[in-house]
A and B are shown apart, each in its own frame.
Chain A
Amino acid sequence: MLGSGADRLRADVNRLLAFLFHQGILDEQFLQLQQLQDESSPNFVSQVVNIYFQESEKLLRNLRSLLMERKLSDYKNIGIHINQLMGSSSSIGAKRVRNVCVAFRAASDQNNRTGCLRVLEVLEHDYCFLKNKLHELFQIEQQRILAGGVGYPMQN
């Protein structure tokens, strides 16, 4: 039935969100973004998050190539990249990625290349996890709307 399909999917969305909050992947800033979504801006969250994905992947690629340089000395540039990633992660509520950036910055401040590479691996992994989960979230949301659920706001 149309109604219960949408309801079931809404429950799925809520369950996934609760999981992401509980695991510390997301924080309340993500909820803040959801509150900014309405009929005048019905895709706001996915728009901003997609921009975040594009920017983050660029930053992560640059970080990896900077750290792989044979003669690595430009830790200042690395720091700038980390700060950008940290800032945008914080702005969308990507708590875990943001926290890994903090550790990354600490290693970078100490010019610790090995430490940086280690943290970068964690960062890449956590970023991938976040991206997959958010894609999942948007997918279920889309299905929910197609099943007749109200598009906005995302939470009740």
Chain B
Amino acid sequence: MARNGGVAWMRTTEKIDGYDLSTSDTEEVHVLAVDDSLVDRKVIERLLRISSCKVTAVDSGRRALQYLGLDEEIQKKETNGFDGLKVDLIITDYCMPGMTGYELLKKVKESSAFREIPVVIMSSENVIARIDRCLEEGAEDFIVKPVKLSDVKRIIDYTTTELREGEQREGARAKRRGINKRKQREGDDDLSSSPPSTLSSSTSSSPSSSIQSATAPSSPSTLDSPTRRLKMTSSE
């Protein structure tokens, strides 16, 4: 849907046309929460709502894919054609019957339309091998259950930051385009060939990039996660 053909953002392009450089902080983050446990769904829903998010909660990986429009058996018109809201973040339980959270993660990251969406895995099992496997597959973060408000706030914070930065880049690009259309022809191509997202596994992206490898995270806000994991490990 990108007008310039280079950027695979899911966002509508109205803001770009209007050179609206305002950030999306008034626009709520829409989270797709996936968990087979009804108790956990209720809790994560509440945690997310209290953190000012819009929430869609489903009980399986299959339903999550259906919601996104990725289910092979239910053909949607096109990948962008799902009638739900655009999803900004997926939070999924790891252990689920049918499709595990890991399998859901893989399917999302394999899809060209949705691989930019950050995926967070939740699990009651604090197994390093599992955590590493998920991060390697492109998970944004890994939360050990039970999930707390601080976990959710941290994730929403850096998701919002990533989205805002992405929009600012988009806005800046659009502004440059607007100021000097003719000259921008080549500039455009340069810009559109650069990686559009800091949420992929590229390590050369923005300073506040997420944890992709087990190496030291680059921003204070992402330190909680590995620290918490290490804390849990040492207490076992």
Task: Give the shortest distance, in Å, between B123 (CB) and chain A (any CB).
Answer: 9
The reply on B46 being an interface residue by CB < 8 A is yes
- Please determine whether A86 and B124 come into contact, CB atoms closer than 8 angstroms: yes
- Please determine whether A87 and B37 come into contact, CB atoms closer than 8 angstroms: yes
Q: Other than A48-B46, A91-B43, give 10 A-B pairs with Cβ distance below 8 A.
A: A38-B50, A41-B46, A48-B39, A51-B39, A52-B39, A55-B38, A80-B97, A87-B124, A90-B145, A91-B146
The reply on B188 being an interface residue by CB < 8 A is no
- Please determine whether B146 and A51 come into contact, CB atoms closer than 8 angstroms: no
- Please determine whether B39 and A88 come into contact, CB atoms closer than 8 angstroms: yes
Task: Give the shortest distance, in Å, between B51 (CB) and chain A (any CB).
Answer: 10
Task: Give the shortest distance, in Å, between A7 (CB) and chain B (any CB).
Answer: 28
The residue that A44 contacts in the complex, of B37, B46, B97, B147, with Cβ under 8 A, is B46
Task: Give the shortest distance, in Å, between A100 (CB) and chain B (any CB).
Answer: 15
Task: Give the total of B residues in contact with A, Cβ under 8 Å.
Answer: 17
The reply on B40 being an interface residue by CB < 8 A is yes
Task: Give the shortest distance, in Å, between B7 (CB) and chain A (any CB).
Answer: 37
- Please determine whether B124 and A48 come into contact, CB atoms closer than 8 angstroms: no
Which B residues from 42 to 83 make CB contacts under 8 A with A? Answer: 42-43, 46-47, 50
The reply on B148 being an interface residue by CB < 8 A is yes
Bound Cα distance A86, B74 (Å): 34
The reply on B113 being an interface residue by CB < 8 A is no
Given A29-B146, A32-B146, A32-B148, answer yes or no on A87-B40 (Cβ-Cβ < 8 Å). yes
* Residue of B47, B50, B147 most packed against chain A (CB within 10 A): B50
Task: Give the total of A residues in contact with B, Cβ under 8 Å.
Answer: 23
Bound Cα distance A70, B42 (Å): 37
- Please determine whether B145 and A36 come into contact, CB atoms closer than 8 angstroms: no
Bound Cα distance A21, B124 (Å): 21
Closest chain B residue, CB of each to CB of A90: B146
Residues of chain B lying within 8 A (CB to CB) of residue A88: 37, 39-40
- Please determine whether B149 and A51 come into contact, CB atoms closer than 8 angstroms: no
Given A48-B42, A55-B39, answer yes or no on A90-B149 (Cβ-Cβ < 8 Å). no
Which B residues from 5 to 50 make CB contacts under 8 A with A? Answer: 37-40, 42-43, 46-47, 50
The reply on A6 being an interface residue by CB < 8 A is no
Contact with A along B131-162 (1 / 0, CB 8 A): 00000000000000111110000000000000
The residue that B42 contacts in the complex, of A47, A84, A87, with Cβ under 8 A, is A47
Bound Cα distance A147, B60 (Å): 43
The reply on B95 being an interface residue by CB < 8 A is yes
Bound Cα distance A58, B149 (Å): 29
Bound Cα distance A87, B148 (Å): 14
Closest chain A residue, CB of each to CB of B47: A36
Bound Cα distance A31, B43 (Å): 13
The reply on A60 being an interface residue by CB < 8 A is no
Task: Give the shortest distance, in Å, between A41 (CB) and chain B (any CB).
Answer: 7
Given A84-B37, A91-B43, answer yes or no on A32-B149 (Cβ-Cβ < 8 Å). yes
Bound Cα distance A80, B97 (Å): 9
Task: Give the shortest distance, in Å, between B232 (CB) and chain A (any CB).
Answer: 13
The residue that A35 contacts in the complex, of B97, B124, B149, with Cβ under 8 A, is B149
Bound Cα distance A41, B49 (Å): 10
Which A residues from 68 to 116 make CB contacts under 8 A with B? Answer: 80, 83-84, 86-88, 90-93
Closest chain B residue, CB of each to CB of A27: B146
Contact with A along B219-231 (1 / 0, CB 8 A): 0000000000000
Identify 27 residue pairs between A and B in the complex whose beta-carbon atoms are under 8 Å apart, listed by A's number: A29-B148, A32-B148, A32-B149, A36-B43, A36-B46, A48-B39, A48-B43, A51-B39, A51-B42, A55-B39, A80-B97, A83-B95, A83-B124, A84-B37, A87-B37, A87-B145, A88-B39, A88-B40, A90-B145, A90-B146, A91-B37, A91-B39, A91-B43, A91-B146, A91-B147, A92-B39, A92-B43
